[in-house]
Amino acid sequence: MTQVATATITQAMITPFDVQKIREDFPILAQQVNGRPLVYLDNGASAQKPLSVIESMNRYYRTDNANVHRGAHTLGDRATADFEGAREKVRAFLNARESREIIWTKGTTEAINVVASGLAQSLQPGDEILVSHMEHHANIVPWQMAAERSGAVLKVIPLDERGQLLEGAFETLLSSRTKILAITYVSNVLGTINPVREMIAQAKAIGALTLVDAAQALPHFNVDVQQLNCDFLAFSSHKLFGPTGIGVLYGKANCLEALPPYQGGGEMIERVTFAKTTWNELPYKFEAGTPAIAEAVGLGAALDYLNALDRPAIELHEQNLLKRAQLLAREVPGMHLIGTAEQKVPVVSFKIEGLHPSDIGTLLDQQGIAIRTGHHCAMPLMDFFAVPGTARASFAFYNTQEEVEQLFTALQKIQRMCC
């Protein structure tokens, strides 16, 4: 057997995804919390950062830092190249047609606000904005504000008891009055993956604009905006293993052209006189003021990191984590899962009879396990399930089967303590 052939065979026999090796890329994970090894299961709130992200920002500040697009000196050129290079990485990651379709924002929340406040100016009384009952407040409140300003009406797609969009409800609500469909790709509480591609096609057929909240989708699977054919898409860097303080609004060029600017100031203008100001071209029209440059660089590094991973292998690993959690949940008496959709990412919301979510969170923390408890910025969804809040374990690809087991061992311990 030749050397090459041996190498191929060994390669094929390696487990498809070596999670222990991946964990070494995330320095924060190797620590003790309350005397126990940290088990970080709050990735839905914010994910941890690989060393390459941390180092990219460090390098940027050590070698290239200056303001962007101001010209005149070498550092400024480098900073601009880094910054625009990161924009190009986002374009490629989403498979957008042009990099001017990528607008930097503070995060998902700001991205949605840019669109909602812009569209509020053209919405008419009686126009309808369609959202779902599982939206994060970031995809509810900006639309409520737009509705209030314009006289438009917010319509809500109801859910079934598994936490999926109620079958047929979307089609019933969609009408010639629908001007915008604003829908989450993945629910932050339930993990439900919505059939956004089909919904977008239907919404487009009646001429509505479409916005996808991809904050919880991109950490788990790739999204191609051209395939999806959405008009707008929003996400946050910090949930995608990048730094806080930056996010993205993707918009089709013609949709962004038609949208009025969000904030006024430097960078977003073409020419300012006291008589009249004209807007800069895309994407700068939406980027008033000095942007988060180092953060853009960091996000670019996060995307490089993700691109180098085998995402199908990751998806399989994550689905295995989810399956294990769902299986173990059955063995905990009084534990109820909230959100049991057929298609879901590894997010497990639950309640345990006799225990308040905040008790669960505090007592897990004592055992080194970080989860989130509360309403998860989705109060209407809490009302739907008639709970004050849930406890939520949200997994990332660097979580292990052992950590899933530790979570459930810890939950059983809590039950013994309290009940």
Provide the annotated active-site residues.
377
To the nearest whole angstrom, how small is the minimum distance from the Cβ of residue 329 to ligand PLP? 22
Closest approach of another protein to the CB of residue 359, in Å: 5
The Cα 187–Cα 109 span in angstroms is 15
Strand 277-279, strand 153-157: pairing: unpaired
Rounded to 10°, the helix 311-329/401-418 angle is 20
Count of CB atoms within 10 A of residue 293's CB?
A: 23
Q: What angle do CA 96, 100, 105 make, to 5 degrees?
A: 95
Contact between 394 and ligand PLP by CB under 6 A: the answer reads no
DSSP state of 374: E
Q: What torsion do the CA atoms of 84, 90, 94, 99 make, to the nearest 10 degrees? A: -10
Kindly state the smallest distance separating residue 419's Cβ from another protein, in Å. Answer: 10
Q: Please tell me whether residue 113 binds ligand PLP under the rule CB under 6 A.
A: no
Asked whether the beta carbons of 299 and 306 are under 8 A apart, the reply is: no
**Spatial separation of the C-alpha atoms in residues 1 and 18, rounded to whole Å:** 27
Q: Which is nearer to ligand PLP, 136 or 317 (CB)?
A: 136
Of 233, 224, 394, 222, residue with least CA distance to 309: 222
What three-state secondary structure class fits 186? strand
Least distance to ligand PLP, CB of residue 142, Å: 10
Residue 317's binding partner among ligand PLP, another protein, none (Cβ under 5 to 8 angstroms by kind) is none
Q: Which residues contact 402 (CB under 8 A, 6 or more apart)?
A: none
Q: Which does 64 bind (CB under 5 to 8 A by kind): another protein, ligand PLP, none?
A: none
Which candidate, 209, 399, 417, 396, places its Cα nearest to that of 306? Answer: 396
- The site partner of 362 among another protein, ligand PLP, none (C-beta below 5 to 8 Å per kind) is another protein
In the shown chain, the binding pattern of residues 350 to 379 toward ligand PLP, with x for contact by CB under 6 A and - for none, equals ---------------------------x--
Q: Is 363 in the site for another protein (CB under 8 A)?
A: yes
Q: Which stretch binds another protein (CB under 8 A): 214-222, 344-352, 354-362, 399-407?
A: 354-362
Q: How far is the CB of 41 from ligand PLP (least distance, A)?
A: 15
Count of C-beta atoms within a 10 Å radius of residue 392? 26
Query: How far, in whole angstroms, is CA 27 from its chain's centroid?
Result: 22
In the list another protein, ligand PLP, none, the entry touching 217 (Cβ below 5 to 8 angstroms by class) is: none
Q: With beta carbons less than 8 A apart as the criterion, state whether 29 and 398 touch.
A: yes
Site membership for ligand PLP, residue 236 (CB under 6 A): yes
Least spacing, CB of residue 107 vs ligand PLP, in Å: 3
Under the binding rule (CB under 6 A), the answer on residue 43 touching ligand PLP is no
Q: Which does 188 bind (CB under 5 to 8 A by kind): another protein, ligand PLP, none?
A: ligand PLP
Residue 97: CB partners within 8 Å, gap ≥ 6? Answer: 226, 252, 253
Closest to another protein by CB, 115 vs 335, is 335
Position 33 contacts another protein (CB under 8 A): no
How many CA within 13 A on the CB side of residue 172?
8
Tell me if 42 contacts ligand PLP by CB under 6 A: no
Q: According to CB under 8 A, which one of 6, 312, 388, 401 is a site residue for another protein?
A: 388
Binding site for another protein (CB under 8 A): 34, 355-359, 361-363, 366, 373-374, 388-389, 413, 417-418
Using CB under 6 A, list all residues that contact ligand PLP. Answer: 107-109, 136, 138-139, 184, 188, 213, 215-216, 236, 377
